[in-house]
Structure 1
Amino acid sequence: MDKDYTLLIIDDDPAMHIMLKTMLGTDYNIINANTAQEGINKLAEEKIHFILTDIHMPGMSGLEFLEALMADAEMQNIPVLIMTSLPTIDKEQKALGLGAADFIDKSLFNSDREELINRIRMKLVANVDIPDLPEKLELDKKEITKSVLFEVSSGDFVSTAQKLCKIIFNKLEADHLSFWTLNEENVQMLLAYGIQLPRKYGPKDLKEEPTFKLVQEQKRPYLVNNVFNSEKGILPELSEDEGLPAEIGIPLFALTEKELIQNKMKIPPNVALFGYVVIKRKRVFTSHEYKLTTLMMMQLGTTLWRLYKDL
């Protein structure tokens, strides 16, 4: 397999470099640095997609390195995982407050290596890069990513889906959001926020919606800012009654983080759907809002699928 992503590992312990190379070297290009300054030098020379750094090192510490990185406009969006052999709540809160993507106890490398690997994959797919994103949406993106990644550590599909959808709902100032799971012919509504669907509206009704059928066929998200006079959008009667002209529909795919990374962050054409998310709003959606929401939901949907299939 071609290795499209490069991980920078910063640690003054040679044994950690050997262990992480064994764990991650099959899937990623690994670059090693023994000090934070050496890591900074590597960042200037190489395209780095993810950083794992020890918190305790001679010279600049991992937290000082993280603080410097977050102040660099060109490098502040690279996910950073802080590693330590002596975890404390204060250290973890400080690392997360400075902008770390995660904080991890090194003992996990021996006790649950698969969890560590999953967390790295999860952070790579969550790191959505959209050029020229307005500042507010850039801040929203970081908050969504941090909140969801923290929640995912519980490994629970329902709570993770609830957390992600609630954050998206609030950040978009949406008026309705519903999440449906799809399993062949079986369709179920997992949750709904804001304006609720009519009591008599259920899975059978959704399956009859032309827009839902189109999503199943084309496997692409959609945006419509005038549901009242468009052929797209579900529940046009509800939209008109509640004054909801804008709608985003997002398919979620039966694809894990590992499979998405192996496919260079692109959804393969023949992957089945496992979810469908509908977001309605009284205000129209901008193109930036649409792009950020759909990319984040579809890429983080790979984490949801991994949790869902393990139920």
Structure 2
Amino acid sequence: MDKNYSLLIIDDDPAMHIMLKSMLGSDYNIVTANTAQEGINKLAEKKIHFILTDIHMPGMSGIEFLEALMVDAKMQNIPVLIMTSLPTIEKEQKALGLGAADFIDKSLFNSDRDELLNRIRVKLVANVDIPDLPEKLDLDKKEITKSVLFEVSSGDFISTSQKLCKIIFNKLEADHLSFWTMSQENIQMLLAYGIQLPRKYGPKDLKKEPTFKLVLEQKRPYLVNNVFNSDKGILPELSEEEGLPAEIGIPLFALTEKELIKNKMKIPPKTPLFGYVVIKRKKLFTSHEYKLTTLMMMQLGTTLWRLYNDL
């Protein structure tokens, strides 16, 4: 298997290196360090995509390492999973407050290997990198990621979808968001926030929309900031009635995090769709908002697809 991502494991217990190499080595390039300082040295030498660090180590602790990492502009966006055999609420809150992607009890390594693998994959696909992102959107991205990662650790498809869509809706200051699922010819509206669709509008009506047909055909997101005078956008009558000129449409793909990571974060052209998200707003969308929203939704959509299959 072509290993595209490198994981740095920092732990003073050699047995943990052996265990994690055995668990993760077939999917990722594993780099190990015995101390936090050695981990910092490895970060300077190699391209690292994810860090697993113990919280209790001689010298610099995992928390102190995380504090140092957060002040380094080049390293602060690397997802960090804090490991411990003695978890406490205080330590967990401090680690998460400092920017840790997650906090995990080492006992889980022996009891649920798949859970550990899923957590790492979710963090990798959620780590959307967009150069020159305005400060507010960068902060929004981090908050969205942290909230969704917490939900994924304990939620199912419905609750995680609700959480993700509600956060996106609020952060974009949107006026309407609807999420549709599709399985072959069966289309259903899972949820809607803000301005609601007309009562009589349902799956049959969506199927007739030229823009929806285009999404099914091209499998690409779209942005339109002039729905009133454009041939793009669903429900133009509702948009005009409610004063909603701006619309983003996002396809979600039947692809798991593992498959996306294996394909270097690119969605294979023939991948079928399983979902469609529509976001409407009175205020026009910027290009940065469009790029951030579509990338986050499509990449985190791989987590939704995995949870969808667990129903």
Q: Helix, strand or coil for the counterpart of 1:232? A: coil
Other-structure match for 2:290: 290
Q: Helix, strand or coil for the counterpart of 2:193? A: strand
Other-structure match for 2:116: 116
**Residue 176 in structure 1 maps to residue 176 in structure 2:** yes
Other-structure match for 1:190: 190
Other-structure match for 1:100: 100
Hey, what's the Cα distance between the residues in 2 that align with 1:230 and 1:67? 49
Other-structure match for 2:242: 242
Encode CA deviations 1:90-125: one digit per residue, 9 max, x unaligned. Answer: 111010000000000000001111000000001000
**Residue 63 in structure 1 maps to residue 63 in structure 2:** yes
Q: Helix, strand or coil for the counterpart of 2:154? A: coil
Hey, what's the Cα distance between the residues in 1 that align with 2:230 and 2:15? 61
Other-structure match for 1:39: 39
Hey, what's the Cα distance between the residues in 2 that align with 1:58 and 1:211? 59
Deviation at 1:154, TM superposition (A): 1.5
Other-structure match for 2:82: 82
Unaligned ranges ≥5, structure 1:
none
Other-structure match for 1:144: 144
Q: Helix, strand or coil for the counterpart of 1:153? A: helix
Other-structure match for 1:211: 211
Letter in 2 for 1:210: P
Q: Helix, strand or coil for the counterpart of 1:274? A: strand
Other-structure match for 2:199: 199
Encode CA deviations 1:102-159: one digit per residue, 9 max, x unaligned. Answer: 0000000011110000000010000000000000000000000000000011240000
Q: How does 1:293-308 map to 2 (within 5 A)?
A: 293-308=293-308
Deviation at 1:257, TM superposition (A): 0.1
Letter in 2 for 1:6: S
Letter in 2 for 1:220: R
Hey, what's the Cα distance between the residues in 2 that align with 1:150 and 1:236? 36
Letter in 1 for 2:107: S
Letter in 2 for 1:27: D
Hey, what's the Cα distance between the residues in 2 that align with 1:184 and 1:155? 26
Hey, what's the Cα distance between the residues in 2 that align with 1:72 and 1:128? 18
Q: Helix, strand or coil for the counterpart of 1:296? A: helix
Q: Helix, strand or coil for the counterpart of 2:197? A: coil
Letter in 2 for 1:84: T
* Residues 221-230 or 146-155, more deviating: 146-155
Hey, what's the Cα distance between the residues in 2 that align with 1:10 and 1:108? 17
Other-structure match for 2:269: 269
Hey, what's the Cα distance between the residues in 2 that align with 1:275 and 1:79? 27
Letter in 1 for 2:17: H
Hey, what's the Cα distance between the residues in 1 that align with 2:267 and 2:111? 32
Deviation at 1:310, TM superposition (A): 1.3
Hey, what's the Cα distance between the residues in 1 that align with 2:85 and 2:99? 20
Encode CA deviations 1:144-175: one digit per residue, 9 max, x unaligned. Answer: 00000000112400000000000000000000
Q: Helix, strand or coil for the counterpart of 2:187? A: strand
Other-structure match for 2:232: 232
Unaligned ranges ≥5, structure 2:
none
Other-structure match for 1:91: 91
Q: Give me the identity figure in percent.
A: 90
Q: CA RMSD in A?
A: 0.4
Task: Please list every run of at least 4 consecutive aligned residues from structure 1 whose deviation after the TM superposition is greater than 3 angstroms.
Answer: none
Other-structure match for 1:28: 28
Letter in 1 for 2:16: M
Q: Helix, strand or coil for the counterpart of 1:7? A: strand
Hey, what's the Cα distance between the residues in 2 that align with 1:200 and 1:70? 51
Other-structure match for 1:51: 51
Hey, what's the Cα distance between the residues in 2 that align with 1:55 and 1:153? 20
Deviation at 1:260, TM superposition (A): 0.1
Letter in 2 for 1:163: K
Q: TM-score, normalised by structure 1?
A: 1.00
Encode CA deviations 1:15-47: one digit per residue, 9 max, x unaligned. Answer: 000000000000100000000000000000000
The aligned length equals 311
Q: Helix, strand or coil for the counterpart of 1:261? A: helix
Letter in 2 for 1:52: L
Hey, what's the Cα distance between the residues in 1 that align with 2:202 and 2:67? 49
Q: How does 1:125-164 map to 2 (within 5 A)?
A: 125-164=125-164
